[in-house]
Amino acid sequence: MDLYRLVRPALFHFDPERAHELTVQGLSVASRSRLALRALGALAGGCHDPSLRVEAFGLTFPNPVGLAAGLDKDGVAVPALAALGFGYLEVGTVTARPQPGNPRPRLFRLVEDEALINRMGFNNHGAAALAARLRRAKAVHGDWLPPVGVNVGRSRAASDEEAPGDYAASLRAVWDVADYLVLNVSSPNTPGLRGLQAVGPLTAVLGAARRVAGERGERPVLVKLAPDLSPEDLAAAARAAESEGAAGIVATNTTVSRPGLASPHAGEAGGLSGRPLAPLAEAALQALAGATKLPIVSVGGIWDADDVAARLSAGATLVQVYSSFVYQGPALPGRLCRGLRERRAATGPSAA
């Protein structure tokens, strides 16, 4: 029996952001208890099956199912999230200095659509604080943690001209503790940010990342793109990323479109995630798979093992979940891994 189905109504009784805070706080507390970590690990059956292992951009992933950025912005719950069986975790989005984000309310549940809308605005405690937490987590738990990526974004106070230097400041702060980095140039909730996906600005930001790599040593750097770009613009961004030495593409971020929503919150400003995002994320994956040889991390509307298998078959190397984790709870990674393993056992790895 999935106990989360019993708990979720009480959790969903809270304001969405308050429920998010309570969840992350609970996972943070669990991260400090080996007993709690073992209990959470009992949900992860199947996630460490060798048949699910993935090699990508120089890293080994225990399985292809990762947690997308946004849930643990400040890296406070990495051990507990890892214990649940995720093949990797992406923390952030983090900025060079702490910032409060946009005014509340800024997170909305669209229960009728199994979706979320957020306009958080990169609220976080800053790159240096995140780096310190990751360093402690790796010192204590590094022998079993999966890869942990850090997603970095432009500070709200930074102008377009200052963006490369602002990204470089964040990257320098987290570079040594991140297994990979993601340049978030596609959130709809920081004014002007999505303009950085154009070839010229994106090349400048990637150039800043290359300079940090020259100072600190190589790390895989990926670029996160929006689902609202045309196939031609997605391809152009991917080509720019490839030519500037990026290790991969994360596709996609949230969408500003509102495709056939039933919820009364459908008109809220911000980025939409969850089930309604799936067709756009699938279309972006298709466009990118035909435009680049870079590994693609597919995100958006992944709900079950069939979705995971379909994205992998369509050209993704890895996948990430977020909204489905909110709606389905902590057993989700184990459920996805077992489903993918069973599907492969029945049809062969080529089917996924």
DSSP annotation of 46 reads: T
Q: What are the backbone dihedrals phi and psi of residue 169, each rounded to the nearest 5 degrees, phi first?
A: -65, -45
Give yes or no for a contact between 225 and 252, defined as CB atoms under 8 angstroms apart: yes
A 10 A CB-CB count for 259 gives 14
Residue with tokens 């969850």: 274
The catalytically annotated residue of 187, 273, 298, 323 is: 187
Residue 149: strand pairing partners? 90, 180
Q: What are the backbone dihedrals phi and psi of residue 232, each rounded to the nearest 5 degrees, phi first?
A: -70, -40
Question: Around 315, how many Cα atoms within 13 Å sit in the side-chain half-sphere?
Answer: 20
Q: What is the 3-state secondary structure (H, E, C) of 127-139?
A: HHHHHHHHHHHHH
- Across 184-207, b (16+ Cβ under 10 Å) vs e yields bbbbbbbeebbebbeeebbebbbe
Instruction: Give dist(CA 63, CA 321) in Å, integer.
Output: 13
Q: Residue 170 catalytic?
A: no
Residue 244: strand pairing partners? none
Instruction: Give dist(CA 184, CA 36) in Å, integer.
Output: 33
Instruction: Give dist(CA 221, CA 247) in Å, integer.
Output: 5
Q: What does the DSSP assignment read for 93-140? A: EE-SS-B--SPSP-EEEEGGGTEEEE-----BS-HHHHHHHHHHHHHH
Residues with a known catalytic role: 187
